[in-house]
Amino acid sequence: MLCYIAYPTSLSLQSANALQTYATVQALRQHAPDTLVLIARWNREPSRFADVGAVHLPRPAIGRLSRLHRSSLWYYLEYSAFAWMCVPWLLKQPVDAIYVRQNIVAAWWSGLFGPLLGIPVIYEAHDLEAHNPSRAKEPWAQGLVHLIDRIALTRASAVVSLTDDFRQYLARLGWRRPAEVFVIPDGYDATLFAPQDRLACRQALNLSPDARLVVYAGLTFAHRWLEGLLAATAALLPQIDRLQLVLVGGRPAEMANLQQQIKQHGLERHVLLTGPCPQENVVRYLAAADVCVIPDTLTDMTASPLKLFEYLAMGVPIVLPDLPSLREIVPETLVQFFPRRSTAGLTNALQAAISEPDQEERYRARQTVAAAYTYDRRAARVLDVVARVKHPSSMHG
């Protein structure tokens, strides 16, 4: 039996972290119904994870003390307490492997509990804690930050990386041999994200049938360089008739800030902020688009954004920053890459993508790329890693 230990940032799936965890667990339980899923929950807040049979443990909400003294160290204590709370559950039943993606929980289980209980631990690494914008900033705590990364990544029985770029980075550090790191990118829900009729979607969303529609979709706008996307849109207005930018999602404070930038660029008539949308409407916006865009990613070596796979599944032209981690997924013949954080580069890439003729074979080629990254296939890859850690010789051959 596999035990998946998770600490999603939103039990109502209002974050990419939570969406990816939920979709992965859902697919895992379809392949392996006895998978034990341990999730932290504050009080009895509503949780979508109940739908996938998760066991909810009380969230030790120590992080709330940061309201009294601002420090991420409170959250480090919270994650540590949760790691300890999981131990009794793993003493009750035989478990083949632990799978965890929260780095502090991973450090405890890789460095202490896993070895003590004789259970292999698989750590799905999404980046170094040292690269986390929300990491502990106290100078005296930097050794602790480094220790978290080192223990989680070097003591785990195996590491799952979203990208080969990060896998090679760990090898250069001397922390893991490549054979001990398994690349499993993010994925998408193939039951939701599939092509639809463009004009019908525009009609349903009250969008102009003649607009040249550029769409960005994300649960949050922070650290995604949307200011660069607005600047590029303003630069394109004199060149492209009926240009409209649609920003799907976002949080209230983020949208208020963007409204000011939209006014500064004189884009009030050319930018639509939808706010949070039901997923079926997100799919409609993507299907209605002439171009889908990723202005930037939160990380670089570990960038594997959910939206890239969702965009690919729709088949539409895509504009994205030129990062090795993204080139692992899609070849440059099917998308428009631009130099990261280059407004001129983004402007040119958008113009090229908007001008791309409707070529059915390119649409189908992007959908074919996406088909390799469904959550069903992701779950199968995770279970393959579980099988390998049960037989360590298969990792060193």
Q: Output the pLDDT for position 212.
A: 97
Distance from CA of residue 130 to its chain's centroid? 18
**Which distant-in-sequence residues (6+ apart) come within 8 Å of 249 by Cβ?**
217, 218, 219, 220, 221, 274, 275, 276, 277, 282
Q: Which CATH superfamily is domain 2-187+375-396 in?
A: Glycogen Phosphorylase B; (3.40.50.2000)
> Kindly report the CA angle at 155 between 58 and 300, in degrees rounded to 5?
85
Sign of CA dihedral 298, 300, 303, 307: positive
Please give the C-alpha separations between residue 271 and each of 187, 226, 251, 320, in angstroms, as whole numbers.
29, 12, 16, 19
Positive or negative: CA dihedral 154, 158, 163, 165: positive
State the pLDDT at residue 395: 66
Q: In this predicted structure, what is the pLDDT of residue 84?
A: 98
Q: Give the residue among 168, 198, 203 at the shortest CA–CA distance from 183.
A: 168
* Cβ count near 331 (within 10 Å): 11
Is domain 198-371 classified as CATH 2.60.40.420?
A: no
Please give the Cα distance from 287 to 280 (Å, whole number): 11
Give all strands of the β-sheet with 2-6 in edge-to-edge order: 55-58, 36-41, 2-6, 97-100, 121-125, 158-161, 181-183
pLDDT at 394: 64
- What residues in the chain have per-residue pLDDT under 50? none
265-271 CB contacts, 8 Å cutoff, 24+ apart: 265/230, 265/231, 265/233, 265/234, 266/234, 267/230, 267/233, 267/234, 267/237, 270/233, 270/237, 270/243, 270/244, 270/245, 271/230, 271/233, 271/244, 271/245, 271/246, 271/247
Yes or no: say if 205 and 244 are a contact pair by the CB < 8 Å rule. Answer: no
- Domains of the chain: which residue ranges? 2-187+375-396, 198-371
308/302 Cα distance (integer angstroms):
13
**pTM, to two decimals:** 0.94
CA dihedral 322, 338, 189, 96 (to 10 degrees): 10
Token representation of residue 47: 């949780």
DSSP 158-213: EEEES-HHHHHHHHHHTS--GGGEEE----B-TTT-----HHHHHHHTT--TT-EE
Cβ count within 10 A of residue 143:
9
